[in-house]
Amino acid sequence: MQVPAEAAGTRADVFLASALEHTTRSAAARLLEDGRVTISGKPVAKNYKLSGGETLTVILPDPEPTEALPENISLDIVYEDDDVIVVNKPKGLVVHPAPGHPDGTLVNALLYHCGASLSGIGGVLRPGIVHRIDRDTSGLIIAAKNDFAHQKLSAQLADHTLARTYECVVVGNLKEDSGTVDAPIARCPADRKKMAVVAGGRRAVTHWAVVARYPGFAHVRCQLETGRTHQIRVHMAYLGHPILGDTVYGAKKPVSGLQGQCLHAVGLKFIHPRTGKLVELSCPLPEEFRDMLAKLARRK
């Protein structure tokens, strides 16, 4: 990984803890102590001060095999056939098991519903999962039922033919009616729990358009060209218009009537991996989103 210029002077273990997902500083230190982190083939000490611009090579150990188990969790299925399943995920449901969320996830629900009919490409913790949406973001997510479908859908993610449309409410009044944010995203060097627009990060592109305006707020539709972690949330905050209810990238105080950010994956479009036909799906805005729009409309 490329070390951004703003990380100059940061200890190697501190930087790795912020740059690697689900990695504590002690875990980063173990990687360094085990010689799994090098610069130009030479191992890096945990207290090494980065100069910025160098390239770190990190060899991660194999994950411990922990298998997700089926759980009888209700699913709102929007589309299903022998190759794919599309679910309208509610807020609060984590997509796959992770530290702090070992069960009760969408993966556990899919394993119960689909049985053995999920692709194995994502591994035992992420069977069938082609892409993710945040815990407190609702809406459409697609999963693959076999490796053939998974490979085809992953290729569409890479070439942007798998299109995802979101709607959100942002704070403030956008000056333009539409626009594009083309700004690279990476793990925030100062806070490993957050993402940020960072020079040298992975390219991230979000197209947006205003659906409606309210005093101090706007209803916005976003089209993802890329799919980085927290992309829409980071890009809207980067524009100076964080998503309403986003306590990570916006105001720290929760918004009454909202669970997390007011963000919903409303549309999904993809080429069916087996038939080659275009599939376009949509789902309605959740009740709390509609209630918030009604509340904002009464302020006009």
**Beta strand residue intervals within 3-115, DSSP E:** 37-39, 42-43, 57-58, 77-80, 84-89
Are 85 and 109 contacting, i.e. CB atoms less than 8 angstroms apart?
no
CA distance 135 to 100: 12
Distance CA 281, CA 284 (A): 11
pLDDT of residue 125: 66
The first and second tokens of residue 147, run together, are 């490796």
The pLDDT of residue 49: 92
Question: What secondary structure does DSSP assign to 224-279, as a single string?
Answer: ESS--TTHHHHHHHHTT-PBTT-TTTS-SSPPTT-SS--EEEEEEEEE-TTT--EE
Domain parsing of the chain, residue ranges: 5-58, 63-158, 160-300
Domain 160-300 has CATH 3.30.2350.10: yes
Looking at the domain covering 63-158, what would its CATH class be? Answer: alpha beta
Contact 2, 55 (CB under 8 A): yes
271, two tokens: 């080429």
Tokens 């890329």, residue? Answer: 226
Q: Is 246 a catalytic residue?
A: no
Instruction: Out of 83, 134, 136, 246, pick the active-site residue.
Output: 134
Q: In angstroms, rounded to a whole number, what is the distance separating the alpha carbons of residues 170 and 195?
A: 18
Is 27 in contact with 37 (CB distance < 8 Å)? no
Q: What is the pLDDT of residues 160-219, one digit of tens each?
A: 889 999 999 999 999 999 999 999 999 898 887 899 999 989 999 999 999 999 999 999
Amino acid (1-letter code) at residue 240: G
- Do 162 and 143 meet the contact criterion of CB atoms below 8 Å apart? no
Identify the residue whose tokens are 């991660």. 60
Check residue 4 and report its DSSP letter. P
Q: At 293, is the secondary structure helix, strand, or coil?
A: helix
pLDDT tens profile 215-231: 999 999 999 999 899 99
Domain 5-58 - what CATH class? alpha beta
Which of the residues in the chain have pLDDT under 50?
64-65
Residue 62 pLDDT: 61
pLDDT at 117: 83
Q: Which residues contact 43 (CB under 8 A, 6 or more apart)?
A: 32, 35, 37
d(C-alpha 62, C-alpha 45), whole Å: 22
127: which 2 tokens?
Answer: 């069977």
Same fold across 63-158 and 160-300:
yes
Q: Decide if 206 contacts 223 (C-beta within 8 A).
A: yes
Separation of alpha carbons 250 and 170, rounded Å: 10
